[in-house]
Structures are given as structure tokens and as C-alpha cells.
Amino acid sequence: MIRKPLVLLLSCLLIFVTLPVESSHAANAAVAKLPGNSNPLIDHKLGADPYVLVHNNRVYVYMTGDAYLYNSDGSVKENQYSTIGKINVISSADMVNWTDHGSIPVAGANNANNGQGIAKWATQSWAPAMAKKTIAGKEKFFLYFANSGGGIGVLTADSPIGPWSDPLGRALLTHGTPGMSGVTWLFDPAVLVDDDGSAYLYAGGGIPNDTNAASIANPKTARVIRLGADMTSVVGSAVTIDSPYMFEDSGIHKYNGKYYYSYCINFAGTHPTAYPKGEIGYMVSDSPMGPFTYKGHFLKNPGTFFGVGGNNHHAVFQFNNAWYVAYHAQTVSKAFLGDGKGYRSTHINKLTHNADGSIQEVQGNMTGVSQTSNLNPYVRVEAETIGWQAGINTEPSQASGGPVANQNVTNIHNGDWIAVGNVDFGSAGASKFKANVASTGNGNIEVRLDSPTGPLVGTLNVSSTGGSQTWREMETNVTNATGVHRLYLVFTGSGNGNLFKLDYWQFTSGSGGNPNPNPSVTRIETENMTLGGQYAGVVSSPFNGVALYGNNDYAAYNQYYAFPTHNFSVRGASNNNNTARVDLVIGGVTAGSFYFTGTQPTVQTLSNITHATGDQEVKLVVTTDNSTWDAYIDYLEHSQ
């Protein structure tokens, strides 16, 4: 049996109720993710083998899921990876406050997941990879996973959080797939959708003979294969990636037109210094299918940073024009157990490409990354959106009106709390706080700022709603909540049971409405948008951006809008002294036009533009070209 050290997501309720070490910690103390730190991403669950998808300005992280395994005496045993059938999903708009989207019950064979498993043929679900692609005018999402070490499956959905289905009813890749002969472990997928829409799947690992020096140095067990246009079929034969000292964990990203294949270096035998054991090495190519050339390494084994090692698994991604790497480490299980025992949690740290294209060594730590935007308290916030916590857990919710696979906070006892970072109440401040709760008894939610014992700005008395999944909104007044703060919801009450459950919360502005309190500007670089039309292309002068040369040329992206009014600014230029016109189209409706005269870049602004809310396509398009000018566009900004 392949003992692949995956980080597994624990069965939360079982952990906090039955795990002696966890249930004995001080009720008001954060244990693993400490306030002010961004790592690990969450600590009410575990999560391994992270893979990242950026969609509509949110970062979605997909992780291998499992529960702690127990000995007959109730102690936690070493992770054995033999019952992993779920993939857990979290997402964030700011890299600090993470929304728990629950578990995807992937494995369905042998009545796995209580008969609710989606892939009825699969016994395992390891190491997910995620992609999105527009097919026949509709955006689709594709979740690839490893069925132990024996093949790769795929699930599909119309959103990044499901609901999911199995389009094939079988594995997409097996050892019988052309080109897969000689792959020891057919697992650990990674996926790339290139700029032209072509897509590629990477997988493989293992050492054919870990006692043979040549086999250790060149296992030749990594593969890349082209995906069909439907993302659920393959084209041609897999190609071998000759990654030196390959062990597992394929990764892929594209930077400045180059393709970066990265992987975990193996632990066997003796290595030259260029290939350090258990670290993430990387190779570069001009083509997504290689050949790749080894360049170096950029992420040390987690044991170097956190005092407990194991395998190394990563994913490189770009968010808001910055680069990051997600990886796992045994920090949560070490904090709760005193020994990681093979159970790991996801971290994110910054990643930097040098001017020559090489990658700097990443510094793994508990500090993590800075919060990228403030949180708006005047819209519905899912209670399972958590920056830090003490004592709580999450579970599937029966509350109506929530997202797919909606969760609620549970396991709430006296002194427990949840907190979120950089909540912007604005200058007018908040006047009311409401929460959707379910309760069979009584308790309180203390609304505090900056710490669990910080200024008390309101208290919501939670009375019985008549059932543990019978939901009702309750509201209380709030005073002195202005500016930007960490927000703590501290739970109090008597008795040893679950005080109540919490689905979502929301504040009302002191101004009487729910304005966006966050006036910060969001910038989207046009070269990162989707280009369309006959002539549209990327340019590097007079700036890095795009050129729209003819009618119906456009640059577009998808944006979620909670509010219906924004200011929009575009930096652009004409290719000559004539005036170029660029239309702003939101949700298929033209909202206004920007005009650029001359080759010197200028910023043009449309103020107080009213538009539809929710997920919208935002498009910058040329419609009035008479062949006397071309439009160059650098970026689009929107602000409240």
C-alpha cells in the first residue's frame, strides 16, 4: 500500500467532543492560528495537498480531507491515508478570513460517504486539482482527484463550490492511458488552462527502484497529457517529464510566457546539493508539454520551518497581481496533539519571481500574508467565515438562503468565539447587529472589538427557536462601532451543551442604510482579462496592457458586486492624436464610455455608475472605430 503522507481534514465534531487534548484547552484561547497570524488558514479543520483556483476575486482552496484515526484506547493514531474520501473547500476574498464550504463527498465505491459518494467507482480522493473554462458560452468548473495511486478522476460543476457530478462514471487517467506506462504512482494531478484555451493535465510520481541510484536520480514517473476541449477527455499520448529526483506533487504555473513545472524532490539515497531532499524543485519550458529544464528549488520541507516534517505538497498561484504558494504543514495537529502524526494544514506565503525568471526561496511561517482588503459588515456574512476561533466547529446547515453546501457554526460553549479581521464599520458606524440562529435553550453573542475581552459594543440575547435546525433572525442595538477593527463574536451562556448554532450575521449602518464602508480601490490589469474580437492583443508599450484595434475587440472579466453603484476609472491612450473611445459594458448593458486623445496615457473616470449586482461580466469594448485610431488600455479600477 502506498503510504502517501497527505494532510487530511478532520471530522470536526468528533475531534472537539472526543479528543482529550482539544477538549481540555482553555475555552477562550486560540490554539493553532493565533490572532494576527494568517497561517494556518483555518484550524477548526485540517487540510492537505492544497490546490488553488482564483475566481471572481476570491481565492478557493481545495484540500484532501479526512478525520483523525483512533486507537482502541481513544488516542489518536498515525495518519494512514486509507479512508480518504472527501475534499474540503474554503475560500477568501482577503486571504485572512476564510469561508468554510464543507466537504465534497467524492469517493462512492463500497458505500463510501454513507452512500452519498459522487464517483461511484472511486475508493479514495487524494490531492485535488482545479480548473475553470468557458465551454459553449458557459463557465464550467473541473475538479481532478487521485483515486489512491491508481488513477485520476474528474468531477464537474457550474460553480467553484458545486453541486458536483461525475461526467464519466470512471477514471479519466489510468495506467492503461497511452503514455502512462512506467508511472509508479498515478496521482497528484495539476492542471493548466493556457491563454488559447488549450488545457493540460500533469500527474505521476514514485521511484521505480528506490535502491538503485539511477532510478532515484531519474525516476521518469511524471507525465503531462493534453486535455480535450471538454476538459473530461484526453488527446494523444502522455509525455514524460524527466524531473530529476522526482517523488510526487506535480505543480504548474505560467509566468512571463514560460511554463513552470514544480514537484516534491524525493528522500531516497544520496542527492547532489542542487536537489535537496523533500523540497520543492522547479523546471521551466517554452511549451506546456516540455521539454522542461531543471532550474532550482524554492520551498524547503515544512520540518525546516515548523519542527515537524513529512512530505511537501504545494500550489503556486496569482491573486491581485501578486504571487503566492500554498503548502501544507503539521501545525494544527502539532498544536492540539503535541505531535503532528501525519495530519497537516494549509498555509500560504508570498512567492517572488526574480527579474531573470528564477524563483526566490519562500519563507514559510505562521505570520503568513497580509489581509488584502477590508471586510464589509453591512452585507450578509456567513458565520463560517472565520479569521480566528476558539472552541467552535462547523457542520452542514439546513438554514435556507445560504450558498451551496451551506455550513453553520456549532459546538458553541461558554467563552468560545469566532473573529474576523479588518472589519470596516466606516465613519457613521453600526447601529444594529443581527444573526440567524438556531437554539433549544438560551445564550448570548457579545459583539466585541479588537480582542475577546475588547470593547463591548452590543449583546444579542439568543432565546430558543424551537429546534437545533430551526432558524430565526434576532437583532440587537450596537454603539461605538466605527472605523476598522477585528470583530469578535464571543459566546456566553450556562450549561455544558451546545448553546446555539449560528448561520450568518450582518450589521446595519448608523446612517440608516447599508453603504459600502470600504472606499478602497480595486484595480484589474487588462492583460489579466479575457480578450476577444478579431484583433485584440497584449502590448508592452506605452504600458503593459492590451490594444483594441477594431470594432467588437474587447477585454473582459467577471466581478461580483454587492452594491449597485461604483466609480469606474480606466487608464488608456490612443495610438495617435485622434480620440479613441472605449465602452464600459456591465452585465450586457453599456454603462458609459471612456475617451482617450493622444498617445500620452491618461486616466478617465465615470462616476456613480449604477449597474446590476451579483456576478457580472465587465467588458471594455470598442464599437465606434472608423479606422482612424486604436485604443490602448492599461487597467480598470472600480471604487465605491
- Give the active site residues: 49, 248
Look at the block and give the residue holding cell 474576523: 420
Cα gap 103→190, rounded to integer Å: 20
Please name the residue ranges forming H helices in 55-212: none
C-alpha–C-alpha distance, residues 310 and 312, integer Å: 7
> Cell 474528474 appears where?
154
C-alpha cell at 454: 475588547
Spell out the residues 6+ positions from residue 233 whose beta carbon is closer than 8 angstroms to its own: 172, 227
Which neighbouring-strand residues pair with 385? 99
Categorise residue 548: left if φ over 0, alpha if ψ from -120 to 50, beta otherwise: beta
Strand positions, DSSP E, 400-553: 407-410, 417-424, 430-438, 443-449, 456-462, 472-477, 484-492, 501-509, 522-525, 530-532, 537-539, 545-548
Neighbouring residues of 14: CB distance < 8 A, sequence distance ≥ 6 = 67, 68
d(CA 502, CA 436): 6
Phi, psi of 16 (to 5 degrees): -75, -20
Helix (H) or strand (E) holding 214: helix 213-217
The CA dihedral of 273, 276, 277, 283, to the nearest 10 degrees, is: -120
| CA dihedral (72, 78, 82, 88) positive or negative | positive
The neighbouring-strand residues paired with 285 are 259
518-547 core/surface letters (b: 16 or more CB in 10 A; e: else):
beeebebbbbebebebeebeebeeebebbb
| Three-class secondary structure of residue 127 per DSSP | strand
